[in-house]
Amino acid sequence: MSFLLTPAAFIIIIFGAYFLKRGGFFGENDYRPVSKIVLNITLPAAVIHAFDGFERDMSLFLVVLIGCCCSLLPLLVMYLLTRGQERGRRVFSMINAAGFNIGCFSLPLIQSFFGPAGAAIACMFDTGNAVMVTGGSFGITTSLLQGQKTGAGREDGQPALPPLWKRFLTSVPFDAYMLMLLLYALNIAVPEWILTLTKPIANANGFMAMLMVGLMFKPEKNPVYLTDTAKVVAVRLAMGACFSLLLFWCTPFSYEVRRVLAVVVFAPVSALAPAFTEKSGGNGALSSFANSISIFASLLVMTCLAAFLGV
């Protein structure tokens, strides 16, 4: 039962941060500097350490493609399911159904369940997922809904953003994934002194990521918010169940790889989803709420499934 200690610690950190914010210790926007630290410092360090000692297997590059497909398909499903709805609601449904929060939430959890080898597999999955969550879902959603009127009968223009390739190159976590994949493909080990220097930073990723989640948590009572959020979370769980079964039973990987993939597809909504929802003309506050709810649902499902598959 010791494997339950890490999820329990994560829950304590999340609620601790939330109640400290409610008590005035943290401000409403204090999650911003914390998220910058996670995305630009602790997460890249954790990615580096995830690949340390991981034996090269070129067949695992298929996991990168799997990560991208698992992020894309729910978006297309929601595009079909939301036909007839006004644009803002479709934006919310499509962007928040697509993509996973691996680095800022699932990576520490996977590492606690399956060790560094499991974390490396999750990082490869997240490399494909990153193509969607760092701008791909935004580009596809706005392209598919281009010209559709809002509920007020007004056509929304697309907000100006840097080119997609530039957003990828300026994303520190994405660059860290690409660098480690290149070294992995070339069978080049990270120098020991770099691992030693970055180890304390990597160890802090779990705490900082959960602190960020707690600071971002925003309870809502609006029945419309609750209904739309429930639909998105239900679709994510249903798609996650389909992906989990397919990846566990129908892929040629070893049991160790298949069980990580079966668990990681239940990861919560991407931490970047609220920003891209708002930029696409959707409800950013609703996306933040859905993000928070999906975290608790994912924590429960991932923990139970990891226990069932053997931690």
Q: Does residue 60 carry a pLDDT above 90?
A: no
Alpha-carbon torsion, ordered 130, 211, 202, 306, to 10 deg = -70
Question: H helices of the chain, where?
Answer: 5-22, 31-37, 43-50, 62-81, 87-97, 107-131, 137-144, 164-169, 172-185, 192-203, 205-216, 223-249, 255-264, 273-279, 284-309
Q: Which amino acid is at 150?
A: T
User: Tell me, what's the pLDDT at 20?
Assistant: 95
- In this prediction, residue 265 has a pLDDT band, given cuts at 50, 70 and 90, of very high
For 57, 103, 158, 257, the CA distances from 62, given in Å and listed in that order, are 10, 19, 33, 12
User: Tell me, what's the pLDDT at 154?
Assistant: 42
User: Tell me, what's the pLDDT at 153?
Assistant: 44
- In this prediction, residue 252 has a pLDDT band, given cuts at 50, 70 and 90, of very high
User: Tell me, what's the pLDDT at 146?
Assistant: 77
Summarize pLDDT for 12-30 with one digit per residue, the tens: 988 899 999 999 999 988 9
For 9, 11, 126, 192, 211, the CA distances from 204, given in Å and listed in that order, are 13, 16, 20, 19, 11
Summarize pLDDT for 178-237 with one digit per residue, the tens: 888 888 888 888 899 999 999 999 989 888 888 888 887 777 788 877 888 999 999 999
Give the mean model confidence (pLDDT) for residues 227-250: 96
The number of angstroms, rounded, from the C-alpha of 36 to the middle of its chain's C-alpha atoms is: 16
Summarize pLDDT for 129-171 with one digit per residue, the tens: 988 887 788 888 888 887 665 544 444 444 555 665 666 677 7
Which has the higher per-residue pLDDT, 38 or 3? 38
Summarize pLDDT for 87-96 with one digit per residue, the tens: 988 999 999 9
Find the range with the poorest average confidence among 49-53, 69-73, 222-226, 307-311.
49-53
pTM here?
0.81
Give the mean model confidence (pLDDT) for residues 41-69: 85
User: Tell me, what's the pLDDT at 69?
Assistant: 96
Q: Does residue 52 carry a pLDDT above 70?
A: yes
CATH class of domain segment(s) 2-146+156-309: mainly alpha
- In this prediction, residue 71 has a pLDDT band, given cuts at 50, 70 and 90, of very high
Distance between first and last Cα of the chain: 10
Mean pLDDT of the chain: 85
* 247 contact partners, CB below 8 Å, separation of at least 6: 66, 258, 261, 262, 265
User: Tell me, what's the pLDDT at 274?
Assistant: 83
